[in-house]
Every structure is written in C-alpha cells, then in structure tokens.
Structure 1
Amino acid sequence: MATIGDFDPLNSTVPATKIELTVSCRNLLDMDTFSKSDPVVVLYVQGIGTKEWREFGRTEVIDNTLNPDFVRKFVLDFFFEEKQNLRFDVYNVDTRSSNISKHQDFLGQMFCTLGEIIGSTGSRLERTLSGIPGKKCGNIIFTAEELSNCRDIATMQLCANKLDKKDFFGKSDPFLVFYRSNEDGTFTICHKTEVIKNTLNPVWQPFTIPVRALCNGDYDRTVKVDVYDWDRNGSHDFIGEFTTSYREFSRGQSQFNVYEVLNHKKKGKKKKYVNSGTVTLLSFKVESEYTFVDFIRGGTQLNFTVAIDFTASNGNPSQPTSLHYMSPYQMNAYAMALKAVGEIIQDYDSDKMFPAYGFGAKLPPDGKISHVFPLNSNSENPNCVGIEGVLEAYFQSLRTVQLYGPTNFAPVINQVARCAEDVTDGSQYFVLLMITDGVISDMVQTKEAVVNAAALPMSIIIVGVGPAEFDAMEELDGDEVRVSSKGRIAERDIVQFVPFRDYIDRQGNQVLSMARLAKDVLAEIPEQLLGFMKTRDIEPQPALPTSSTTTTAPLGLNNLCI
C-alpha cells in the first residue's frame, strides 16, 4: 500500500505542461555549389545531472533555402523546477543518413534552456548560430506555445462523519491524502488536505487540483483516498481508505459520492466491523484554468532575492570545516544552493539583476550587527548582475564582515515584502531564497512576517545547510498545518523548507545534487504564483509582441527596492 512517505518528487512528477517549439532560421551558410543549402535542425536534450546529450528529434528537411521556416514542431514537457538544457544543431543535408553528424555539412549550433525560450518576450527567442570559426552562421529563431490540453482544474470540498477515534486524550486530527493510480498498479500521491484538529466530523476547506494530476486525462482511472490522523512526530495513524474516480467525482454531490472509509486490517480482526466512518463530497466543479506559462507569456516577471546566513555557527570561513569555506576545488553548500535555484529562476527575469542580502553579521567599520545588509555593500542598490554577480558579492562579503548572530529571518522577509506590496497587479512575483545553517532565533516575528507575506505576490524558499536539526523550520512550511500568528492564519502556503543534505549525491556529483535540490524547492512556485493570481482575480495579459523593438525596463529597475 502506498504511504505518505512514498511521495518522491524526483520520480513522481505530475505530467508537465507540454510546450510546442516552432523553429526558423535566417541567413544560413550556403554549402551547395549549384543551389542553396537544404537545412534541417536536430534537437538534443540532457538528462538531470548528466552532461551527455541525446537526440530528441529533427525537423523536416527544406530544400534549397537559407531562410527555412520548419513545419515539424518539437513538443517538450516543461518543468519549471528543472534546468532543461537544449542544443540545436543545423545541418545541410546531402544524403539521407541517420548518422547526421558524419554525413552532412554542419551549419552551426546554439545552446539554451527551455526556460530561456519561454521566459523571453512573447516566448520568442532569436539567437546567433555559432560553431564554425571565422564564419557568420546566421540566426535561429524559436517560438514557444503551450498546448491547450490538460488545462482543466477541479475544485472540490469534502467532509467526513464518524471517523475512528485515534488520539488517547482527544478525538482525531484527520486529513486526506489523494493518490492517482499508475498503469503498473502502483499509486502516486497528488494532494494532501489540511489537518482539522480534534474532531471525528471534519469539514475540509475547498481545494483545487489540476485534472491531469488527479487522473492524467483518464477519467475512469482509480483515485485512492487515504484518511489519516495527524501526529506531531510524523507517524500519522491510518484510519482507512476508499477509492473512486474522476468520473464519479464529476457527478457532484449525490448518493454516489458518499464513501465508506475502510480499514482492511481492522475489518479482518473484527467480525462486526462496518467501517471507520464515511467521507462525503460536498461540492465539485471543473473550469479551465490559466497556467503559469500564460502569465509568463503575458509579461509577468519573477523577481529573485537571495538572503544568506552569516551567523558564527557556520564556522570560520578560512577553515575547511566551515560551511562558508571557499575551496578552490568545489563550491560550498551555500554557493551550490544559490546557483541551483538562481540559474533556473533567472530565465524568467528580464533584467537579470538580483538583490542579495546577508543577515547575522557585524559590519565594518564599527561592528554594528545587521540582519539585512546588501552583499555588494551598496545600500542604495543591492542588485547584483546575474547569479555570478551574486556569488561574487557573497564571496567578497565573507572577506569583509564578521560572522556573529543571532539568526533572525523576519527583517529579510519584511524587506522583500515591502517590495511586493508595491506591485500587486500581477506584473511581478517575488521569490526569496534564504539559506541558513541553524534554528531561527525570532520564530514569533518570522511567523508574523510569513502570514503578512502570504497576502502578497511572494514565495519563500528556505534551504538548510549543514548537520543541524531543523525541526523548528517545519512550522513555517505549511504543507500540513498552515502558519498562523496572533490568531491570523496565512491565506496561502508560501514557504518551502528543505535540508540540503537530503539532496547531496553520494558519489559527490555536485551537478546532480544541485538539480535534485532545485527540482524539489522550485516545484511549488508555479502553483503558488497561480494561487495568488486566482485569489486576486488577476488574469494574464495577452502575450507580449515578439518584435525586436519591444522595450524593457532600464537595467536594474525591475528589482530595485530599498
């Protein structure tokens, strides 16, 4: 039987949005003597954590042209949380051979990521071909369009009645876990409800889920729902289960959608066992939903901010035992986490200018403790140029500040929240990456900051590095129990916390470690962005014009917020 622990985001990813790439070339090299070139474009892709390229597909061959517009498309699965590296090789076809690199004339190549294409203005990217020294190889042009299938999203609400009592001093703290069935008979987790405390008759909040996540387009595929009693130590008690399907759910509230919760072990032991309660579908509706790609194509920018822990518990940066140690041979965990997340998000930020802060250090010249200081030492403009600029500023700060403490999160969260408060029209969405080695010192203030930020276009990623126990951090990650402060509950779950040690490759492959980390921590960003847009009734703008004359904000202005 599948359990909660079976949820492995590396191996059970929801089927992705499908992106159709249209390819054109301009001013290709002419390699034929008595006519023009006969071009074809070959697409190669890389797997996660590997440098090996494998052929994905080819366009058709178009005879006698240097400016081809190819009809055959490339259809790719798009995962926002992955860095999907692409390589496009262009050849002049002389003979029909499957081994194209040996028997055809090479016309040039271009490297990019799928995110770069989607994140470009109007999802149109034009780049120069290269690869032949001393030759101008022409340009290659891509247009990305999301395929319109799998856009339906279901909104449903369920309640339960007379569930089994599991807590010795109370009733039960029930929650539901939804699984879709796979073709091999296994199950993949696709949704968890919130926990309702101390009741045998819970009414869960309505929730939305993509139809593709629930059934992968097969309306009769089995959907299994487990009912659990939540325990603080994570060893949740199994109450029972039932099965249904998307088609049954779609009937809405009726006698067909009242389900007996069955515990088969309990049934086998007790002759008079009937059930462990019932679950009832209260409401169900389906609507076509805007997607993450719709907003990106319409011009929504992701503004990425970094905050790094400079507290003394990290150890002396000059010593190899320090988490901040700058080895000449490999990146430290802070740099790996920053690079892993930043290199993906930067594709969706047009100006590539990223505010970067430190917290918990004494600053020169007077040794004043700061919980939010710019890594580039420029308080008027904390932006760094690209991810490499952030890394450079981080390394420079290690040479100039004194690690100290305490570990306060609230000042940095509030800093980014002030920026997000100024742009709530859907044109920008803010992602804050915080990297830390220890337990938060200002948990009360941080919870309040998170609750306030949940009403803004903002998400927070917290990566824990080093061997410390991060149990307290789970309070901020509202997957099971939503963060609350002073009686207010966060309106959205905007925090994702992970310990980096869970993603480190045992063979020391840093590329694979970084890919695993990025895949997990970024997976929730698209849904969090959509959640904010939906609660504010914000619709995506029409796709931006794709002409080369499109204007952008002056360098650095998109992210400048002091």
Structure 2
Amino acid sequence: MESCHCTQAKNSEQRILDEARGIPGKKCGAIILTAEELSNCHDIVAMQFCANKLDKKDFFGKSDPFLVFYRSNEDGTFTICHKTEVVKNTLNPVWQAFTIPVRALCNGDFDRTIKVEVYDWDRDGSHDFIGEFTTNYRELSRGQSQFNVYEVLNPKKKAKKKKYINSGTVTLLSFAVETECTFLDYIRGGTQINFTVAIDFTASNGHPAQPTSLHYMNPYQLNTYAMALKAVGEIIQDYDSDKMFPALGFGAKLPPDGRISHEFALNGNPHNPYCQGIDGVMEAYYRSLKSVQLYGPTNFAPVINHVARYAASVKDGSQYFVLLILTDGVISDMAQTKESIVNAACFPMSIIIVGVGPAEFDAMEELDGDEIRISSRGRYAERDIVQFVPFRDYVDRTGNHVLSMARLAKDVLAEIPEQFLSYMKSRGIKPSPAPPPYTPPGYPLQTQL
C-alpha cells in the first residue's frame, strides 16, 4: 500500500515529569506526559477481523471475546488506539468492521509494531487475557491472505504447558484505505463559503436611545451588538471569497406602514440585501437602527428558512452557507425554530448563534445540540449544524474590549469544519482538484522533475 499518501515523519518525543502536589510539603506521586509529533497523514483504514478456536474462559459458557489494538511509541511503550465490540458466547467471533485514522494506528510509519490483545469480557471488569499477537501496517495492507492469519499466544500458558500450541487464531477479513479530505482541501478546490448575517431588532434589547440598551446609539463607542458584529465579522469575512454579505434584521416594525418583519434587508433593498464587507454590514445596521422600530416577537425560523432556501438549491458541494445570528437570547418560536434547524440539517448549511448581553441563554444552549441532538415532531436532525457562543465570555469587565480575538475566533469557528465535512461525507462529495498556481505572463511554467 505504498500509494497511501502518508509520509513517514521523523517523530520527536518529549517526556515531561512533574510532581503531583495535593498536600503542601508532601509529594503525592508523579505524572509523566509523553508527547509525539503526529505525521501529516490523512488516510483512514477500514478493517474487519474474525477469530477461530479461541480459548474457552467462561465456566458456564464459552468466551465473550474482544480485541484491543495498541500503537507502539518511540520509547518502546504501547498506547491503546482501538477496542472492538464484545461478541458474546463464542470461540469463533466475527467482529464488526471498524475505521481508524492511520495516524492513530501507526503514525504513518508502515513498519511500526502494532500489538493486538485478545480478551474474554467479564461483567466486573476483570477481563480474562486470552492471548496476543503483533503485526504492522505493511503486513495488514496485504489484505485477506495467508500472511494475515495470526496465532494468538499466551506467554504464561506457553511456559506452563509443553504441548501448548496457541490460544486460537485471528484472521484479517478485509482491509481498505481512503484519504480523509480536510476542510482546506475543499476550499482549495473552489468550494465557496457564503455567510449571511441576521441581527435581532426586538424590543427586549431596549430602546436605542437608552444607555442600557444593547442597541444604544452611542456616538463615541460601539454598542454591544456593533462590537460583537465587528469582532465576529472580522473573523468570518476571511472565509468568504467575495466579501459580500446578505445582512438581515428580524423583529422590527418597518416604515412607512409599521409592518412587522422577521427577515428584512438591513440595506433596505429586499431584492439585493448584500453589503460590501463587514464595514458595509455595520453601516447598514446603523442606518436600520435609525429607521425601524424595535418590536417583536423574537422569531428565528424565518431567517433560518431564508438561508435554507438558498442552501437547498446548491447541493453539489460548490457552495456552503453559514448563518450568523446575533441575539439577546429571548426566543418566541422555539418549536418552529427546531423544525427549521432539523430541515436545514439536510442542506449544506451551518448556524452560528452569538449571544449578546447578560441574559441567560438556556434556549440557545438547547439549540446548540452538543449534548442532545435537536429534534422536532419525533424527527432528529441529520447532523449537528448549530454553534452557540456567548459574547460576554470574551469581553472585559467594562464590556467594551475583547479580551482575546484568537480565542473568540477559535470558538466561533470551532464546529464549522466538522459540520462542513459531515455534510460532504454524507453526500459522497469529494473536493475538486486545486487549480495550478498562477504563473505571470512571460514566465516559463515550472515543472517538478
């Protein structure tokens, strides 16, 4: 399997020894951390194993065998990298196929030892050791063959019994490798990330003329919404290729007739709600504050459905849509919002919710779905597409300065690559090849010999 895109890395190892201090003046042991540099390998291997004639370990039954895989480290130690499921009451188990990153299995080193131990599962956790064998990635890559039938050996049993042969055999049934595509592979291949900004204009934010309002029109400094929009916007705009952002507002009465809208264009043009860069969004936001009346209720579903309609029309992987919602956290259409999110999870789309102000954000945490996958009418979202970030966690005590733009950037974008990849993988969409580097006219093309 030399075609695997791994390159053997010269790994460096670092050992850190520190005393564990629990009682002043008394040593409570030591913690040793061993670190190893990971190779630049994005391949994933899928394998399946079976076993034959394993030792019988249970008094009333046969055995409940499972496998434990260990990656060898540079210092000669081993680290667990995978455990199979337990197959009950058999000496001839067939385990389910599993996938594991090649980095986790051998760190891209095809000849590094992989140790496999076979155990009989016990309810109390004192699993009985059946035996072990060793192999490596290069051997496994031969697939199902005579080279991948391994004797399971128990050293203690072998030392006690002269006629001991083995404790059974384990056979590799299948082996396949695929390259795991990264978020950047798709971006290099031309996939466009399209951000839409939606801002909460409901009355729960306070009247813009009052200093206590999150929308306070202060001529000398940014209000809370503007500060969050500028900080988060400067992070996301680097991922939007054309820097043109549709900018929407929701929950306001619009001039001239006082119509309540939950998806109005901040620039006043419903046919072309695009703003040039985050500065353009900021300008449209301030202009809207002067013309609309903050009202309510706080409905998320309309702006989610607005972006979902666009995402639903482009399912070939060429575009991915991200909706950024800035809100004070008070939500009126929870049931409809959940249904909108469940529907949107089928499309190339993610939602970032930035909580603005001091309110409790329990509803936003529920929408985030990290602990419990969001559902509506008994139907669960196909994937997690919501990331919630409370902006107050990133500003100083005065609320006027962001403490760490790097930490804010990390948390705002933390789940987007994974959500993006989950959609592409579920649809079998591969990244397009990256275009060749630009060569100025008159310069000869460079070729690698």
* TM-score higher than 0.5: yes
**154 and 317 in structure 1: CA distance in 2 versus 1, 3 angstrom threshold:** farther
Aligned-partner Cα distance in 2 for 1:448–1:434: 17
Distance 1:321 1:214 in 2: 56
Asked whether the 8 Å contact 1:505–1:513 carries over to 2, the reply is no
Highest RCO, 1 vs 2 (Cα 8 Å, sep ≥ 6): 1
Whole-angstrom CA distance in 2 between matches of 1:451 and 1:388: 32
Partners of 1:354 and 1:385 within 8 A in 2: yes
Instruction: Find the partner of 2:180 among 289, 296, 300.
Output: 289
Deviation at 1:523, TM superposition (A): 1.3
The Cα of 1:512 is off from its aligned counterpart by 3.2
Within 5 A, what are the aligned runs for 1:70-109?
none
Report what 1:300 is aligned to.
Answer: 191
Deviation at 1:519, TM superposition (A): 1.4
Query: CA offsets, 1:437-459, max 9 Å, x none?
Result: 02211111101100111010000
Q: Which runs of 5+ in 1 are unaligned?
A: 1-146, 158-182, 184-205, 222-238, 252-282, 550-562
Aligned pairs, how many?
A: 314
Q: Name the amino acid aligned to 1:493.
A: D
RMSD of equivalent CA atoms: 4.2
CA distance in 2, matches of 1:385, 1:151: 37
The 1:215–1:397 alpha-carbon spacing in structure 2 relative to 1, beyond 3 Å, is: farther
1:452 aligns with one of 333, 337, 343:
343
Query: Is 1:464 matched up with 2:350?
Result: no
Match of 2:246 among 355, 359, 368: 355
1:476 and 1:483 in contact (8 A); partners too: yes
Q: Which has the larger radius of gyration?
A: 2
Displacement, 1:324? Answer: 1.0
Give aligned-pair identity as a percent: 77
1:541 paired with 2:432, answer yes
Question: What residue is the counterpart of 2:407 in the other structure?
Answer: 516
Summarize deviations over 1:117-165 as a string: whole Å, max 9, x none.
xxxxxxxxxxxxxxxxxxxxxxxxxxxxxx99131347899xxxxxxxx
Q: Separation in 1 of the partners of 2:106 and 2:392?
A: 33
Q: TM-score w.r.t. structure 2 length?
A: 0.61
Offset of residue 546 of structure 1? 3.9
| Segment drifting more, 372-381 vs 475-484 | 475-484
Equivalence map 1:1-400=2 (5 Å): 149-153=40-44, 287-400=178-291
User: Is residue 2:324 matched to residue 1:433?
Assistant: yes
| CA positional deviation for 1:529 | 0.9
- After superposing the two structures, state which structure 1 stretch, 286-295 or 420-429, moved more: 286-295
* Distance in 2 separating the partners of 1:214 and 1:502: 38
| Residue 365 (structure 2) aligns with | 474
Q: What code does the residue aligned with 2:392 have?
A: R
Q: 1:309 & 1:207 partners in 2: Cα distance?
A: 45
For residues 220 and 495 of structure 1, do their structure 2 counterparts lie closer, same or farther at Cα, with a shift above 3 Å needed? farther
Aligned partners of 1:363, 1:457: CA distance in 2, in Å? 31
1:512 counterpart SS class? coil
- For the pair 1:417 / 2:308, whether they are aligned, the reply is yes
CA distance in 2, matches of 1:294, 1:444: 37
Q: Does 1:492 align with 2:401?
A: no
Give the conservation status (yes or no) of the 8 Å contact 1:313–1:438: no
Q: Partner amino acid for 1:364?
A: P
Query: By how many angstroms is 1:361 displaced?
Result: 0.4
Moved >4 Å (runs of 4+): 153-157, 206-221, 283-286, 506-509
CA distance in 2, matches of 1:319, 1:444: 32
Bigger mean CA deviation after superposition, 511-520 or 364-373:
511-520
- How far the C-alpha of 1:507 sits from its partner, in A, is 7.6
Mapped to 1, the partners of 2:432 and 2:261 lie a distance apart of 40
Q: What is the Cα deviation at residue 468 of structure 1?
A: 1.1
CA 1:365–1:454 in 2, change beyond 3 Å: closer, same or farther? same
Q: In 2, Cα distance between the equivalents of 1:374 and 1:313? A: 20
